[in-house]
Structure 1
């Protein structure tokens, strides 16, 4: 029986690089891959790592009077898409004993000004 993997490009080794001033940074280099396999392997690794990392983040947003993310809000400079992108930058912390319980946060702002 003929081998299906004969001539198939597979990585021979994986290199790992870090940066001294970035303790959370790591770069893995694996090559060569067959065309298209690098993206497939990379996406699988990214999804696995992201599902394994503990943390807290905003996962849903509801804005009163807004039906979709491409809407504009009267009297607000940013559109809803920009507001959501800004909310992604919010750094949240959590109590380790109740981390699996969802939390609801209400933010209200009236009048002109920056929401901080």
Structure 2
């Protein structure tokens, strides 16, 4: 796990928080896909009726489980993504000649 040092980054604290949130969201999406596939392999239980209702419930359960895992530290994917996202943002800022003193917090890699 790469430790991010905010004092050496050209990004503002607000940008670092935004990047962290985006990385955690991406990890949540990945974990959601993973848990949905895991639950898809479980056979329906006759005691709970099976069918569409059970499938819907399992889908919601998988989504909630994935979000909880991501918010609790996940599997480390967000940390790796964050390091890469910071490097991309700093490279984009450098190519435009932006520094922490003149950067707009909402400026992204694509100049939005």
Fold shared by both chains (TM-score > 0.5): no
TM-score range, shorter chain: under 0.3
Structure 1 length normalisation: TM-score?
0.27
Flag the structure with higher strand content: 1
| Structure with greater Cα Rg | 1
Ranked by relative contact order (alpha carbons within 8 Å, sequence separation 6 or more), the top structure is 2
